[in-house]
Amino acid sequence: MQPRDLSDHVAYEAGRGIEEVARELGRDPSEFIKLASNENPHGPSPAAADAIREAAGSVSSYPKSTHTDLTDAVADRWAVDPAQVWLANGGDGAIDYLSRAILEPGEDVLVPSPGFAYYGMSARFHHGGVREYVLDREADFAQTPETVLSAYDGERIVYLTSPHNPSGSTIELAAVERIADETDEDTLVVVDEAYGEFADVDSAVALLEGRDGFDARDDVAVLRTFSKAYGLAGVRLGYAIVPAEWADAYARVNTPFAASEIACRAGLAAIDDDEHVERTVATARSSRAYMREHLDARVWPSEGNFVLAAVGDATTVAEELQQRGVIVRDCSSFGLPGCIRITCGTEAETERAVEAVNAVLAGRS
Ligand code: PMP
């Protein structure tokens, strides 16, 4: 007995952790900093950490089946109906729910290249296909309606990422609106705002709800996560905000108890901790400005908590950086050779990363 033909499926390449890299290099973990997975350098919100400790006593029970408290808090935060909030096991889980809800076998999704790998992976798991639109590095990975629409060929889901991973470019709401207008009625435009807190652009929730001069619509969904600005990547909590018209679809597609009791309690505590998010965003903004100014490499403008830098042989540069104790992401796995992505760290981490990258590049020139 064998699994089905998985030859079209590519394994997700998660960033390697400090322990793993240190073990491989035979070094002490304390010698490393990890700026490879866009994690929060300030850790979780302290309130969320307390909530996780408090949740320990009740984990022998299943979570509340509808996670009402957190759903209500998220709905409040966005001023939408609780039925529009689809809590999931991370943003990745929310992507899966959208695949389940939308795709029939053989239907396609349209994704950015370079781009976040899980959109395509999820479509394939659900027996769908994947087509790409290309974001041009020479145009700063600009996300224009033309770029997307010229590649569009009736796909059922079009993914937009704002800020875009790995470049940090964003898309204006007027451009999202045009894409939604010019794609078929049964195409869903998903705006992935996993890094939304770090950006200056408005959330596409305004499009769903018909705010700020836009007409309300039923063909846009928004993805958000607690992994980045809230510092809760390890608990796995994210959500989709879907059109109000989709009334009972969530109950039919969600995995029972996928958002755990611990995750939901942590999320509930974190969502009110504005101070932690503000501090995190301020750190990211000054870190990315510092990297753009001081790295001796082409660095694209970024509105995320990371920057993309052109460094030539990125695989070797990333390895040499590791030798110097700085773990970054080689972007080959995003379909983007020649670049590394560096997560915004604390001031000290950022300075150390810049110094290491500049030293490696100087040694190679
Ligand atoms: N979207 C984008 C663009 C991402 O970069 C990530 C995480 N790397 C996610 C979604 C999903 O994150 P999570 O599952 O941790 O919420």
DSSP-derived pairing of the beta strands 339-343 and 306-310: antiparallel
List Cα–Cα distances, 211 to 80, 214, 215, 216, 221, in angstroms.
11, 5, 7, 7, 15
Output the average pLDDT for the chain: 95
Q: Give helix 46-55 / helix 261-271 axis angle, nearest 10°.
A: 150
Is there an atom of ligand 1 within 6 Å of 283 CB?
Answer: no
- Report d(CA 65, CA 60) in Å as an integer: 14
Q: In sequence order, what are the beta bridge partners of 161?
A: 192
Closest ligand 1 atom to residue 37 Cα is 8
State both tokens at 360. 């490696």
- Note the pLDDT of residue 9: 87
DSSP string, 258-283: -S-HHHHHHHHHHHT-HHHHHHHHHH
Domain with CATH 3.90.1150.10 in the chain: 18-44+274-364
Centre of ligand 1 to C-alpha 94, Å, is: 10
Predicted confidence (pLDDT) per residue in 18-60, tens digit? 999 999 999 999 999 999 999 999 999 999 999 999 999 989 9
List Cα–Cα distances, 130 to 95, 118, 350, in angstroms.
14, 11, 36
Average pLDDT over residues 215-223: 97
- Residue 286: which pLDDT band, with cuts at 50, 70 and 90? very high
Instruction: Classify residue 156 by its DSSP letter.
Output: S
Closest ligand 1 atom to residue 93 Cα is 14
Task: Select the CATH number that applies to the domain covering 46-271 from these four: 1.10.260.40, 3.40.640.10, 3.30.420.40, 2.30.30.60.
Answer: 3.40.640.10
Centre of ligand 1 to C-alpha 316, Å, is: 26
Centre of ligand 1 to C-alpha 194, Å, is: 6
Domain with CATH 3.40.640.10 in the chain: 46-271
Cis bond leading into 243, ω under 30°? Answer: no
Predicted confidence (pLDDT) per residue in 98-109, tens digit? 999 999 999 999
Please name the residue whose Cα sits nearest to atom 11 of ligand 1: 91
Predicted ipTM > 0.90: yes
Backbone angles phi, psi at 76, to 5 degrees: -60, -45
Closest ligand 1 atom to residue 89 Cα is 14
Centre of ligand 1 to C-alpha 2, Å, is: 30
Region 18-44+274-364: CATH code: 3.90.1150.10
Whether the pLDDT of residue 66 is over 70: the answer is no
Please name the residue whose Cα sits nearest to atom 6 of ligand 1: 194
Centre of ligand 1 to C-alpha 87, Å, is: 14
Average pLDDT over residues 162-178: 98
Closest ligand 1 atom to residue 192 Cα is 1
